[in-house]
Structure 1
Amino acid sequence: MREHISEAWKNSYDAPLNFQYPTGHSISEITRCKRSPPSTSCFWTGYVNGFDQAFHYSCPDNHIISGMSSYHQNRQEDRRWKFYCCRINNYCNHYCYWTPYVNTFDERFTWYVPHHNDLVGVGSYHNNRAEDRRWRFRYCARTC
């Protein structure tokens, strides 16, 4: 059974997005979290993309993503993204996989991190005609 802290949207259209889960939690579904082993240290990345730019970001080895932040600009109708990476005690990233793109443009989507795995990376590209992004995710088995 999945344990979720919040089922609510984390922001409204064009509003900044900022969420960081408490220690011992990681992302289980985009903007939902699950319990994870305690972390030893966490950090925010800088912005990983410019407006209208593609990105593929992964936290350093043996880290998981525990938060995301972005801001929107009307002129480009896009967002810049940064991520909150946490080092987990006794955790090693093994058997890591990138998903294919999980959505099409202008589509609402849900993606769940597979059971016994953690989210470690995010990739996206923006399309100016659709003014939207497609997303893919990197996850790893929790081993060590």
Structure 2
Amino acid sequence: MMRVALFLLLTGLFSSGQGWQNNYDEPLNFKFPPGQSISYIMSKHHDFYEDRLWAFSCKPTINPSGDCFFSSYINNFDQAFSFACPPHYAIAGMNSYHSIFYEDRRWQFYCCRSSCISNNCQWTSHVNWFDETFFWNVPHHNVLVGAGSYHQDFYDNRRWR
């Protein structure tokens, strides 16, 4: 019940236009300071723009080192990808830019080191369907260390895991 209430509260905040880190068809440039990692992700698709808005929240990462870096671009347009930060690093930000021609984004991930991150990683199933708004919460005792996605031209959109 608490999770439903939190989802409804966050949906209300973001539907009013607060908290989005980008605009449709514009770059996403976002990172938390060292010592923080992503605790939830919300994304909203728009059929006219064939693009997504993105919002994030953070949580403290235990024993941060301040050692952070952006990956290179990990995909070309319309390509699937599977990305993981190096061992003992968590995702603390994302960069991307949108192509109107491809109706897709290229992605970079911001990884920050923490000595308390184990190598016992697991992939989720896909957290969204094409064209839908989604909200994904990082489980309480976990950190986000990777992401995977594939693009489908029919929807001009991506599914994420």
Q: TM-score, normalised by structure 1?
A: 0.86
Q: Is 2:51 aligned against 1:26?
A: no
Structure ranking higher in helix proportion: 2
Aligned twin of 1:100? 125
State the Cα distance separating 1:115 from its structure 2 match.
0.4
Q: Is 2:69 aligned against 1:69?
A: no
Structure ranking higher in strand proportion: 1
Q: Is 2:20 aligned against 1:9?
A: yes
The AA in structure 1 aligned to 2:23 is S
The count of aligned residue pairs is 131
Overall identity of the aligned pairs, in %: 55
State the Cα distance separating 1:44 from its structure 2 match.
0.6
Q: TM-score, normalised by structure 2?
A: 0.77
C-alpha distance in 2 between matches for 1:35 and 1:20 = 14
User: Which consecutive residues of structure 2, in runs of 5 or more, have no partner in the other structure?
Assistant: 1-5, 7-17, 42-55
Deviations 1:5-49 (A, max 9, x none): xx6010111110011101211000021111222234111100000
User: Which consecutive residues of structure 1, in runs of 5 or more, have no partner in the other structure?
Assistant: 137-144
Moved over 6 A (4+): none
Greater mean deviation of Cα atoms: 95-104 or 49-58: 95-104
Aligned twin of 2:157? 132
Aligned twin of 2:46? none
Aligned twin of 1:46? 72
Tell me the secondary structure at the aligned position of residue 67 of structure 1: strand
Contact map agreement 2:83 2:146 (CA 8 A) in 1: yes
C-alpha distance in 1 between matches for 2:65 and 2:148 = 24
